[in-house]
Amino acid sequence: MSSFQPRASSMDATAPATRLAALLATACALLLGLLAAVSLLALHLHFEARDRALLHTHLQAARALLVGMDNTAALTALPARFEAAFADEPALAVRVQGAYGQPLYEQGPAAGLPPALLTRPSVSAQPAPLVTWRGGDGRTWRGSALAMRLPLEGASTLTVAMALDIEPHESFMASFRWTLIGYVLLAVAAFALLARWAAGRALARSARPGAIASTPIGVNEPALDPHR
């Protein structure tokens, strides 16, 4: 009867090994999920900071152009100057409009600059908070606007709004997000199998001394020679 005890004890160790492996796999999933979320957030903030800096540079260049328009002739040349400065930026949408919303220069109309961007421009040197939206062409844009006054007597305030086509960023983020999800799932599955194997082996080893101790003393021991 005692010869069947090691097998029973090894079978009894299966449930604890499975529970231990499940706990370790859950902890691994939480840690990897947290790492993936932090990575995605850091990448998103990086792209956002880069877009903010690029828009700020373009808006300051537009401010410099408007500061130089101190007469009516220069104001007439506004579209030509803006086109010369920004027309070589295919991923940039630009709109300069007057106090009543009349367009003075427009580039990239497919962006469809939203009212949330045009009606709330920043009045300081710093651009307004970024506004992100999806245009009519299905592409994602991120923009900012600035209110600027021409150095002319009686001139009204102009609104200069600019937006960047961030669809390449969004496509990369989506691909990277799915890659991280797949990596986390595969890593957790592999770790769960490894933890199940290691926990089962460790518990099986810990059960062996009890099985040996249950064997009757002297069954396999050789007889001692009294003449030695």
Determine the pLDDT at residue 136: 78
Total residues found in the chain within this entry = 228
Q: How confident is the model at residue 208 (pLDDT cuts 50, 70, 90)?
A: low
Determine the pLDDT at residue 38: 95
Mean pLDDT of all residues belonging to the chain: 80
Structure-model confidence comparison of residues 97 and 202, the more confident one = 97
Could you give phi then psi for residue 123, rounded to 5 degrees?
A: -100, 0
25, two tokens: 């796999």
Determine the pLDDT at residue 40: 94
6, two tokens: 């090691």
Determine the pLDDT at residue 175: 93
- Is residue 22 within 8 A of residue 137, CB to CB? The reply is no
pLDDT above 50: residue 183: yes
Q: How confident is the model at residue 120 (pLDDT cuts 50, 70, 90)?
A: confident
CATH class belonging to 51-165: alpha beta
Query: What is the dihedral sign for C-alpha 62, 74, 81, 155?
Result: positive
Give mean pLDDT, residues 193-204. 79
| Domain residue ranges in the chain | 51-165
Query: Across-strand partners of 145?
Result: 161
pTM: 0.73
Highest mean pLDDT among 66-75, 79-88, 116-125, 214-223: 79-88
Q: How confident is the model at residue 217 (pLDDT cuts 50, 70, 90)?
A: very low
Residue 151 and residue 139: Cα distance in Å, rounded? 36
Percent of the chain having pLDDT more than 70? 82
Cβ contacts of 109 within 8 Å, gap of 6 or more: 93
pLDDT above 80: residue 225: no
Residue 209 and residue 172: Cα distance in Å, rounded? 56
14-49: pLDDT as tens digits: 777 778 778 888 888 899 999 999 999 999 999 999
Determine the pLDDT at residue 72: 75
Highest mean pLDDT among 148-152, 182-186, 188-192: 182-186
Residue 164 and residue 112: Cα distance in Å, rounded? 12
- Is residue 64 within 8 A of residue 215, CB to CB? The reply is no
pLDDT above 50: residue 213: no
Structure-model confidence comparison of residues 225 and 204, the more confident one = 204
